[in-house]
Chains A and B, each alone.
Chain A
Amino acid sequence: MFFNSIEFFIFLPIVFGLYWLIGGKNIKTQNLLVATASYVFYGWWDWRFLSLILFSSLVDYSVGIALGKNEKPTTRKTLLWISICVNLGFLGFFKYYNFFVDSLINSFTFFGSELSINTLNIILPVGISFYTFQTLSYTIDVYNRKLEPTKDFVGFMAFVSFFPQLVAGPIERATNLLPQFSVERKFDYRNAVDGLRQVLWGLFKKIVIADNCAKYANLIFNNHTDYNGSTLLLGAFFFAFQIYGDFSGYSDIAIGISRLFGFNLKRNFAFPYFSRDIAEFWRRWHISLSTWFRDYLYIPLGGSRGGTSMKVRNTFIIFIVSGFWHGANWTFVIWGALNAIYFLPLLLANKNRVNTNLVAEGKYLPSIKELGQMGFTFLLTLIAWVFFRADNVTHAFSYLKGIFSESLFSWVEIFPSTILGLVFFFIITEWLGRSGEYAIEKVDFINRPIRWGFYLLLIILMFAFTGEEQQFIYFQF
Chain B
Amino acid sequence: MKKFLKNIIIFFLLALIVGEIVVRVTHTMSDIPQRVIDENGIQKYYPNQEGYWKGGDHKWSINKLGWPGELPNSYDNLIMIIGDSYIENFMNPNDCHQSAFLKKNMKTFNFMEAGRSGVSLIEAMEISKNLDSLKPVKTLVYVNNNDFYESIRDIKPLQDITQVNLKNGTIVYGKMKAPLFKKILYNWKLLYYFYTRFPLNNQSENAEAPIVNEAIEENNDKLKSKSEVFDLINYIKDNYSIKDKVFVFHPNSNTEIIKQCKNLGFNVIVLDSSKDDKKWVFDHDSHWTCYGHEQVAKQISNALLK
A187 CA to B15 CA in the complex, in Å?
25
Q: CB distance A460 to B1 under 8 Å? A: no
Whether a CB of chain B sits under 8 angstroms from the CB of A376 is no
Contacts A6-B198, A452-B11, A466-B197 hold; do A460 and B18 have CB atoms under 8 A apart? yes
Whether a CB of chain B sits under 8 angstroms from the CB of A456 is yes
Within 8 A of A (CB), among B1-44: 1, 3-4, 7, 11, 14-15, 18-19, 22
Within 8 A of B (CB), among A432-477: 452, 455-456, 459-460, 463, 466
A466 CA to B18 CA in the complex, in Å?
18
Whether a CB of chain B sits under 8 angstroms from the CB of A99 is no
A409 to B: closest C-beta gap in Å: 33
Contact bitstring B185-201, A, C-beta under 8 A = 1, else 0 = 00000000100011000
A428 CA to B122 CA in the complex, in Å?
60
Whether a CB of chain B sits under 8 angstroms from the CB of A94 is no
Most buried by B among A6, A187, A456, A466: A456
Q: CB distance B4 to A189 under 8 Å? A: yes
A117 CA to B199 CA in the complex, in Å?
46
Q: CB distance A456 to B15 under 8 Å? A: yes
Question: Closest residue to B8 on the A side, CB-wise?
Answer: A196
Q: CB distance A452 to B14 under 8 Å? A: yes
B1 to A: closest C-beta gap in Å: 5
Which of B1, B7, B193 meets A187, CB within 8 Å?
A: B1
Which of A6, A187, A456, A466 meets B14, CB within 8 Å?
A: A456
Which of A6, A193, A460 meets B4, CB within 8 Å?
A: A193
Most buried by B among A187, A452, A463: A463
Within 8 A of B (CB), among A161-196: 187, 189, 192-193
Chain B residues with CB under 8 Å of A6's CB are: 198
Chain B residues with CB under 8 Å of A466's CB are: 197
Q: CB distance A456 to B4 under 8 Å? A: no
A219 to B: closest C-beta gap in Å: 16
Chief secondary structure at chain A's binding surface: helix
Whether a CB of chain B sits under 8 angstroms from the CB of A282 is no
Chain B residues with CB under 8 Å of A192's CB are: 4
A463 CA to B3 CA in the complex, in Å?
27
Question: Closest residue to A466 on the B side, CB-wise?
Answer: B197
Q: CB distance A455 to B11 under 8 Å? A: yes
Whether a CB of chain B sits under 8 angstroms from the CB of A20 is yes
Chain B residues with CB under 8 Å of A452's CB are: 11, 14
A463 CA to B22 CA in the complex, in Å?
11
A280 CA to B7 CA in the complex, in Å?
39
A366 CA to B293 CA in the complex, in Å?
57
Question: Closest residue to B198 on the A side, CB-wise?
Answer: A6
Chain B residues with CB under 8 Å of A193's CB are: 4, 7
Which of B7, B18, B197 meets A456, CB within 8 Å?
A: B18
Q: CB distance A20 to B1 under 8 Å? A: yes
Q: CB distance B3 to A189 under 8 Å? A: yes
Question: Closest residue to A460 on the B side, CB-wise?
Answer: B22
A186 to B: closest C-beta gap in Å: 10
B278 to A: closest C-beta gap in Å: 24
A460 CA to B18 CA in the complex, in Å?
9
B19 to A: closest C-beta gap in Å: 7
Chain A residues with CB under 8 Å of B3's CB are: 189
A43 CA to B3 CA in the complex, in Å?
34
Q: CB distance A460 to B19 under 8 Å? A: yes
A460 CA to B28 CA in the complex, in Å?
12
A455 CA to B193 CA in the complex, in Å?
20
A466 CA to B198 CA in the complex, in Å?
11
Question: Closest residue to B18 on the A side, CB-wise?
Answer: A456
B213 to A: closest C-beta gap in Å: 27
Question: Closest residue to A20 on the B side, CB-wise?
Answer: B1
A100 CA to B197 CA in the complex, in Å?
43
Question: Closest residue to A459 on the B side, CB-wise?
Answer: B15
Question: Closest residue to B200 on the A side, CB-wise?
Answer: A6
A187 CA to B5 CA in the complex, in Å?
12
Most buried by A among B4, B11, B22, B193: B4
A141 CA to B15 CA in the complex, in Å?
47
A452 CA to B11 CA in the complex, in Å?
8
A452 CA to B1 CA in the complex, in Å?
19
Chain A residues with CB under 8 Å of B197's CB are: 463, 466
A241 CA to B193 CA in the complex, in Å?
28
Most buried by A among B22, B193, B197: B22
Question: Closest residue to A17 on the B side, CB-wise?
Answer: B5
Chain B residues with CB under 8 Å of A455's CB are: 11
Chain A residues with CB under 8 Å of B198's CB are: 6
Chain B residues with CB under 8 Å of A187's CB are: 1, 4
Question: Closest residue to A6 on the B side, CB-wise?
Answer: B198
B26 to A: closest C-beta gap in Å: 8
Chain B residues with CB under 8 Å of A459's CB are: 15, 19
A456 CA to B19 CA in the complex, in Å?
9
A452 CA to B12 CA in the complex, in Å?
11
Question: Closest residue to B23 on the A side, CB-wise?
Answer: A463
Contact bitstring B159-203, A, C-beta under 8 A = 1, else 0 = 000000000000000000000000000000000010001100000
Question: Closest residue to B11 on the A side, CB-wise?
Answer: A452
A170 CA to B155 CA in the complex, in Å?
56
A390 CA to B193 CA in the complex, in Å?
37
Chain A residues with CB under 8 Å of B4's CB are: 187, 189, 192-193
A187 CA to B198 CA in the complex, in Å?
33
A13 CA to B37 CA in the complex, in Å?
43
B91 to A: closest C-beta gap in Å: 21
A189 CA to B6 CA in the complex, in Å?
12
A17 to B: closest C-beta gap in Å: 10
Chain A residues with CB under 8 Å of B15's CB are: 456, 459
B36 to A: closest C-beta gap in Å: 33
Supply 24 A–B pairs (Cβ within 8 Å), ascending by A.
A20-B1, A187-B1, A187-B4, A189-B1, A189-B3, A189-B4, A192-B4, A193-B4, A193-B7, A452-B11, A452-B14, A455-B11, A456-B14, A456-B15, A456-B18, A459-B15, A459-B19, A460-B18, A460-B19, A460-B22, A463-B19, A463-B193, A463-B197, A466-B197
Instruction: A187-B4, A456-B15 given; name 11 further pairs at CB < 8 Å.
Output: A6-B198, A187-B1, A189-B1, A189-B3, A193-B7, A455-B11, A456-B14, A456-B18, A459-B15, A459-B19, A466-B197
Partner-A contacts on B (CB < 8 A): 1, 3-4, 7, 11, 14-15, 18-19, 22, 193, 197-198
Ranked nearest first, the 9 interchain pairs of A and B with the lowest CB-CB distance are A456-B18, A187-B1, A192-B4, A189-B4, A460-B22, A189-B3, A6-B198, A456-B15, A459-B15
